[in-house]
A and B are shown apart, each in its own frame.
Chain A
Amino acid sequence: MRALWLVLLLLVALPARAGEIVGALSQNRVALTASFSGSEILIFGAIRRTAEDLLAEAEAEAAGGVDYDVIIVIEGPRQPIAVWRKDRRAGIWMNVDSVTMASVPSFYAVATSGPLNQILSPEADAAYRISARQAIRAEQVGDGSPQALLFAEALLRIRERSAHYMALDRFVHLDRDILFRANVRLPANLTEGAYTTRMYLVQDGEVVNQFRTAIFVRKDGLERWLHELAYEQPLLYGFLALAIAIVAGWGASALFRLIRQQ
């Protein structure tokens, strides 16, 4: 009888307990310059609740309710890619077949306040496309063959090893169920573009609320200039490369000759 009461109480309390998540970033611009060696980004925020929410929560807590959890997803610009598989042909290991994927994230980090599979239901994961596996789901299905699945798994494995896809379990610190913060390290090899940052408030395996913002990563200074020149004025850029080679090659040897003569 008491157990039944508890369930009833929970059911009544649930809809009213929709907290709101508000987040911010320590920086929303990352400049790729010659000395760029990765960047640490602090993501922080708060869970906002009304007085009624708090009251309901207190009751739920007394009744053994579940705490909030926070999931932060940083997703880099999507790119078309090809995954190649090597096989032995005439004694040589060579690329034999490939699967092209139209749009996969160049970077994907999921930071959570607890183990992802414990705090989020598989259904919610699929609905909100939270884990890296879900983010490339459209590609994973492919033509429906088991082979497409193998290629998608290979993509996840390779990108995880190069730290471009990261599962950061327990990287989000929750403070008294109100404040949260996480440090995410962006690697040195970043692609230019907008890195969307999604923050999810999770309770009981379900997403209660979400907040979106973005980090803008762009090349800067000399790098930006060189990259633009290479793509917009390739002929001029080619001649610049030659000029540098000629001046450096000839100048250096002339300099050394001068030093030796003295």
Chain B
Amino acid sequence: MLVYLPIAEVSTNLFTLLGVGAGVGMLSGMFGVGGGFLITPLLFFIGIPPAVAVATGANQVVASSISGVLAHLRRKTVDLKMGTVLLIGGLIGSSLGIIVFRWLSALGQIDLAVQLSYVIFLGIVGGLMLQESLRAWYRTKKSGSPRRKLHQHTWVHALPFKMKFRVSGLYISVIPPLLVGAAVGVLSAVMGVGGGFIMVPAMIYLLGMPTKVVVGTSLFQIIFTTAYTTVMHAVTGHSVDVMLAFFLILGGVIGAQFGTQIGTRLKAEQLRILLALLVILVCLKVATDLLIRPDELYSVRVLGGF
């Protein structure tokens, strides 16, 4: 059954959209990630124009993060103060990202920029995650592992403009969280992702936040940054497709329910290895598309549209 998407101006199979939504929703339920990094490349693949895919991807992340953030707020595992600092950075970053996005679209290089960012970020994050989780898995197999320090003092703790973050138990400069927030904001605007895959490791390893508040706080920041990105893309590029988002979300919420149940049956270390492998797989897929000679060297773009 075909549906006509009014903004993308293409007809797509309804079940393909629901399937993409459900598949990504299942993975996001399993691993607790937003899934934006999977949905945007998949939308490219089914023929949605890149500008629409990125803007609608951001909108979908809002939907897939909202129930998570509410659950974390109830459990009080959100550092609202840290979240707000990250968010201020995020809004600045997203605004910059939108400008960069418009500029690259005008240059005709937006596809390349989006693909390259996918390769670089997914490659780095996937590699680090795999290394980390393999080491953790190895440690759990060898009993009697050495205790880890609460957090380590690094160069981050020597910067000025310090602030107390009570929930995280930190007293650090606001510069690193602002920068982390801004970086994630840029990614949200250019790649149509929430940016959890880069923010969570940054919060743990760079800011030294306790793991228990990391997910809730990152979701809190992501939801506002992607909401802002969605509205900005709608205003500057008219590229958010409500119809497309609706079907993706519909598939996504159903898939997420199954994903959560599968996720509870797997061990945390196994889950992290699987997620790392998935991230690397997406990275390799995008990379081969860039390296292999395409069948058609030419492409047609309608001007004045996006």
**Which residues of A line the B interface, CB within 8 A?**
32-38, 79-88, 91-95, 98, 100, 106, 151, 154-155, 157-159, 188-189, 191, 219, 222-224, 226-227, 230-231, 234-235, 237-242, 244-246, 248-250, 252-254, 256
Provide the B277-306 mask, 1 if CB < 8 A to any CB of A, else 0: 000000000000011111011111111100
Q: Nearest Cβ in chain A — how far from B192, in angstroms?
A: 13
State whether A93 and B298 are in contact (beta carbons under 8 Å apart), knowing that A219-B6, A223-B6, A235-B231 are contacts in the complex: no
State whether A81 and B301 are in contact (beta carbons under 8 Å apart), knowing that A249-B65, A256-B257 are contacts in the complex: yes
Q: Given B4, B233, B299, which contacts A188 in the complex, CB threshold below 8 Å?
A: B4
State whether A245 and B303 are in contact (beta carbons under 8 Å apart), knowing that A95-B109, A188-B2, A191-B9 are contacts in the complex: no
Known: A80-B304, A85-B298, A230-B6. 11 other contacts (CB 8 A): A79-B304, A154-B298, A188-B10, A191-B9, A226-B6, A230-B242, A242-B59, A244-B246, A245-B60, A246-B62, A253-B257
Task: Give the contacts of B221-252 with A (CB-CB under 8 A).
Answer: 227, 230-235, 238, 240, 242-243, 245-246, 249-250
Answer yes or no: B169 CB below 8 A from chain A CBs. no
Residues on B with beta carbons closer than 8 Å to the beta carbon of A80: 302-304
Q: Nearest Cβ in chain B — how far from A217, in angstroms?
A: 12
Choose among A81, A219, A224 the residue with the greatest number of B CB atoms under 10 Å from its CB.
A81
Query: Contact: B64 with A81, CB < 8 Å?
Result: no
In the complex, A100→B108 CA distance in Å?
Answer: 12
CB closest residue in chain B, given A79 = B302
Query: Contact: B11 with A189, CB < 8 Å?
Result: yes
In the complex, A87→B299 CA distance in Å?
Answer: 12
Q: Nearest Cβ in chain B — how far from A255, in angstroms?
A: 9
Task: Give the contacts of B47-78 with A (CB-CB under 8 A).
Answer: 59-60, 62-67, 70
Q: Nearest Cβ in chain B — how far from A19, in angstroms?
A: 39
Answer yes or no: B3 CB below 8 A from chain A CBs. yes
Query: Contact: B242 with A244, CB < 8 Å?
Result: yes
Query: Contact: B290 with A92, CB < 8 Å?
Result: yes
Q: Nearest Cβ in chain B — how far from A139, in angstroms?
A: 12
In the complex, A84→B238 CA distance in Å?
Answer: 23
Provide the B1-39 mask, 1 if CB < 8 A to any CB of A, else 0: 111101101110000000000000000000000000000
Provide the B88-100 mask, 1 if CB < 8 A to any CB of A, else 0: 0000000000000
Query: Contact: A35 with B7, CB < 8 Å?
Result: no
Q: Given A86, A189, A239, which contacts B9 in the complex, CB threshold below 8 Å?
A: A189
CB closest residue in chain B, given A227 = B6
Residues on B with beta carbons closer than 8 Å to the beta carbon of A219: 6
In the complex, A248→B242 CA distance in Å?
Answer: 12
Provide the B136-168 mask, 1 if CB < 8 A to any CB of A, else 0: 000000000000000000000000000000000
Q: Nearest Cβ in chain A — how far from B237, in angstroms?
A: 9
Residues on B with beta carbons closer than 8 Å to the beta carbon of A158: 296, 298-300
In the complex, A34→B291 CA distance in Å?
Answer: 37
Q: Nearest Cβ in chain B — how far from A187, in angstroms?
A: 8
In the complex, A157→B250 CA distance in Å?
Answer: 37
Q: Nearest Cβ in chain B — how far from A253, in angstroms?
A: 3
Residues on B with beta carbons closer than 8 Å to the beta carbon of A246: 62-63, 66
State whether A252 and B299 are in contact (beta carbons under 8 Å apart), knowing that A238-B240, A245-B62 are contacts in the complex: no
In the complex, A246→B226 CA distance in Å?
Answer: 12
Answer yes or no: B112 CB below 8 A from chain A CBs. yes
Query: Contact: A238 with B108, CB < 8 Å?
Result: no
Choose among B66, B108, B249, B298 the residue with the greatest number of A CB atoms under 10 Å from its CB.
B298
Residues on A with beta carbons closer than 8 Å to the beta carbon of B3: 34-35
Choose among A91, A94, A100, A240 the residue with the greatest number of B CB atoms under 10 Å from its CB.
A94
Sample of 7 A–B contacts (CB below 8 Å): A36-B11, A98-B108, A154-B298, A155-B300, A241-B230, A246-B66, A249-B66
Answer yes or no: B207 CB below 8 A from chain A CBs. no
Query: Contact: B2 with A35, CB < 8 Å?
Result: yes
In the complex, A19→B294 CA distance in Å?
Answer: 50
Q: Nearest Cβ in chain B — how far from A77, in angstroms?
A: 11
Residues on A with beta carbons closer than 8 Å to the beta carbon of B234: 230, 234-235, 237-238, 241
Query: Contact: B62 with A84, CB < 8 Å?
Result: no
Answer yes or no: B253 CB below 8 A from chain A CBs. yes
In the complex, A37→B10 CA distance in Å?
Answer: 10
Provide the B110-125 mask, 1 if CB < 8 A to any CB of A, else 0: 0110001000000000
In the complex, A241→B4 CA distance in Å?
Answer: 17
